[in-house]
A and B are shown apart, each in its own frame.
Chain A
Amino acid sequence: MLRRDLLSGAHFTQGDIACAEGAIAAGCRFFAGYPITPATEVAEHMARRLPEVGGVYLQMEDEIGSVAAIIGASYGGVKSMTSTSGPGFSLMQENIGLAVMTETPIVIVDVMRGGPSTGQPTKAGQQDVMQAKWGSHGDYEIVALSPSSVQETFDLTVQAFNLAERYRIPVFVMIDELIGHMRERLVIPSPDEIEIVNRKKPTVPPDAYNPFKPDKDLVPPMAVFGEGYRFYATGLTHDETGHPQTDSAEEQAKLVRRLCDKIRKNRDAIVQVKKIFLDDAKVCLIAYGSEARSAIAAVTRARKRGIKAGFLGLTTIWPFPDKEIEAVADQVDRIVVAEMNYGQIVREVERRFDYHKITFASKLGEDPHTPEELLTHIAGDER
C-alpha cells in the first residue's frame, strides 16, 4: 500500500531533503523553524510535505521561539523538530536546557557551516560538535548523531526520533553542509523495514500519576496534555510530582544525576560506530560526517600500500564512543583524528589515548580533507 508519509523507493536528492523525509517517515508532524543557510531546504521541504501528511509547518519569528514551539507541540503529543545552523543553534541553547529538564522528546538538526558567528554560511564545517554537548548551561547529557551520506541522513533522522522518544531527550542530527547540500541516491524503505519507537505512556490513572517518576530504565512515562492528567512541567528543579523544589540539595542531586544517567547508563544501546579494517590495524583514523567519506577512501588506499590502517567512524558523537576508542587504543600505535575544525572531538580522543601519539588533521574552509591529504597523515609523512 502506498503511503504519503513514506515514499518508499529510490530517489536522487539532497541531504537536507533526506533529513526532512526521514523525519516524516519517523512520524514527525510538526516543524517550527527559521530559515538559515544551509538548513533552509529542510524547512522548505517540510513546508511542502507536512500539510500533505496532515502536519503543521510553522515559521517562527526566531530560533528561540522555534525550540519553545516544538517543546509545546511535543507536550501535546506530536513528534516535532526544527532545523538550523550555527548562529541559530547558539540561540536555541537555553531552551535545549528546558527540553532536557522537562524531558521533552524533540529533534534538532544542525546543518553545520563555517563559524564562529556568521562565518561562512555556504561552506561546510564541523565546528558545532562540542556545542551540541556543552552548549546549554548546567549538567546534562544528550545524543548527537553524525551522518556521512544522504542515505545515512535519512536513516539517522529516523533513529534520532526513536532515541528522543525512548529516552525523552533532545537528540541532535549534526549534518555538515556538504552532506546537507550534496545529491546522492536515497532509498526510502518500505513500511515493514522501518522501525518506529513511540514514547512510553502512563499505565496509571491521573490521580496516581507522577510525571517525573522514572521506571527502571530511568525514563518516566510521558502523559500528554488534554487527556485528564492535569500535570505540569517546569524548568525549575522539581521532584517526582513535578512541583518545584528550589530549596532541596537532595532533590537537585537526584534530578541532575538521573537526567544524566538516563543516557550514561544506557550508552551501550545508543552508541554506534563504523569499523573498517580495524582488526589488525596499527594506525587508526577517526572521523565523522563528510570527513568519514575521505577517511574510508584514505584507509583503503593505505591498505593497498601495505600500511596497516583502520578506520573508526563516529556515527554517534555523543555520548562519546569512549569504550570503542579505548578498545582501539589498546591495539594501535597511532591515532589520526580528522575534523573540519581547529580541535574539538580530538580532545575527547586525547583523554583516552597517549597525547603524543595522536595526529590531529585539522581542516578549515569549505571542503573536508582529500583522501591523499589523509593518507599523508596516516603514513606519518608529515611528522
Chain B
Amino acid sequence: MEKFTRKGMIPHIWCAGCGDGVILSEFLRALDELKMNLDKIVVVSGIGCIGRISGYVNLDGFHTTHGRPIAFAVGLKATRPDLKVVVISGDGDLFAIGGNHFIHAARRNIDMTVICSNNFNYGMTGGQSGPTTILEDRTTTTPYGNIEHPFNLVHLAAASGAVYVARWTTIHVRRLRESIKKALTKKGFTFVEVITPCPEQYGRRNKMPGPRDQSNWLKEKSIIQHFTDPLKAEVGPEKIVVGEFVDADKPEYTDLLRRQVIAIQGRLDQEGKLTNAPL
C-alpha cells in the first residue's frame, strides 16, 4: 500500500474507527487490483474529513471549496477525457451545498466516479446535522432530535440518471472494493455510497460511543438486497439496505461531445469554411 500513499502523510488525521480510513484502504486496493495507469487518475475531494483523502493518495488531486468537487471534476473531465476522474467526498459536501452539482453531473452522465462517505453528520466541524442525518437522531444542531427526513442517496442518484449506483458499509470491505472497481471501470456517471461510522461525533451522541458499537450496528442491521427499487432502499436504525441498485447503460457525455465535434469540423472542412458562426 505504501506506493499509493504520499510520503509522510500517514498516519492520517482521521479518528480511531473512522470509516474514512477503510474507504482509503479499499480504494487503494481497488486501484491495485485494476492495475490502472496511476498517472492518469485524478482524485478530487471537497471539504470535510474525507476531503483530506486527496492529500493522502499518491495521485494527482485537488481539494476544492465546500461542495464543488463535482463541478471541478466536470470541467476537468470534459476537457481531459483521457483522465480517470474520481470524486471522493462527504454527505454534506456532495448533497447539501453541492447537491445541485451532483444532480446535474448525474443527469449529464459524464464519465466519473463519485464515492460518498456518508457518516450522517458534518464530522470535521464538530458533528452538526446534515441532509442524511437519520430522523430523531441527535447532533450538535439537532440537540432535541432531528426532525428532518434524510435523503435516500441511492434513490437520488438513480433518479438523477447515474448509470451505476451501489451502497455498502465499511464493514462490507470486499464487496465495497468490488463495487469501487466496477464503478471505476464502467463508463458514465457512477456512484457508490459508503455508510461510514463516525464514532467521535455521530456515534457518541447516538448511543454508539465506541468504534466497535457503530460498526456492530452496521454489521447487524445491514441487509443485502441487490436491485431493490431504490425508493425502498432505506437507511435507518433498524435496517440498512445495501447492494447494487442500478447498472444501466446510456450514451455518455464525452462520447457525445466528441462525436459532435467531429461532425461539426467535418462539415466545415467539406464546406471549405473557417466558421459557421455569425460575427
Q: Do they bind each other? A: yes
Question: Which A residues are closer than 8 A to B by beta carbons?
Answer: 2-4, 7, 11-13, 17, 21, 29-30, 32, 45, 48-49, 51-52, 54, 56, 58, 60-62, 64-66, 68-73, 75-78, 80, 94-95, 97-98, 102, 225-236, 243-244
- Chain A contacts of B52 at CB under 8 A? 244
Inter-chain contact B71/A68, CB cutoff 8 Å: yes
Q: How far is the CA of A228 from the CA of B112 in the complex (A)?
A: 20
Question: Which B residues are closer than 8 A to A by beta carbons?
Answer: 9, 38-40, 42-44, 52, 54-55, 58-65, 68, 71-80, 82-83, 100-101, 104, 257, 260-261, 264-265, 268, 274-277, 279
- Chain A contacts of B44 at CB under 8 A? 72
Q: How far is the CA of A60 from the CA of B265 in the complex (A)?
A: 24
Given contacts A52-B275, A60-B74, A66-B71, 15 further A-B contacts (CB under 8 A): A4-B268, A45-B277, A48-B276, A60-B104, A61-B100, A68-B75, A69-B74, A69-B75, A69-B76, A72-B72, A72-B76, A76-B79, A80-B75, A226-B42, A234-B63
B165 to chain A, nearest CB (A): 20
Count CB-based A-B contacts (< 8 Å): 155
B74 to chain A, nearest CB (A): 5
- Chain B contacts of A7 at CB under 8 A? 274-275, 279
Inter-chain contact A65/B63, CB cutoff 8 Å: no
Given the contacts A7-B274, A68-B71, A235-B63, A73 and B79 also touching, CB distance less than 8 Å: yes
Inter-chain contact A75/B261, CB cutoff 8 Å: no
Inter-chain contact B80/A95, CB cutoff 8 Å: no
Which residue of B39, B104, B265, B276 contacts A227 across the interface (Cβ within 8 Å)? B39
- Chain A contacts of B54 at CB under 8 A? 232, 234
Identify 23 residue pairs between A and B in the complex whose beta-carbon atoms are under 8 Å apart, listed by A's number. A3-B274, A4-B275, A12-B279, A30-B79, A48-B277, A54-B265, A62-B100, A64-B71, A66-B71, A68-B64, A68-B71, A68-B101, A72-B73, A80-B75, A95-B65, A95-B68, A98-B64, A226-B40, A226-B82, A229-B60, A230-B39, A233-B62, A244-B55
Which residue of B9, B77, B82, B264 contacts A52 across the interface (Cβ within 8 Å)? B264
- Chain B contacts of A4 at CB under 8 A? 268, 274-275
- Chain A contacts of B268 at CB under 8 A? 4, 52
- Chain B contacts of A32 at CB under 8 A? 75
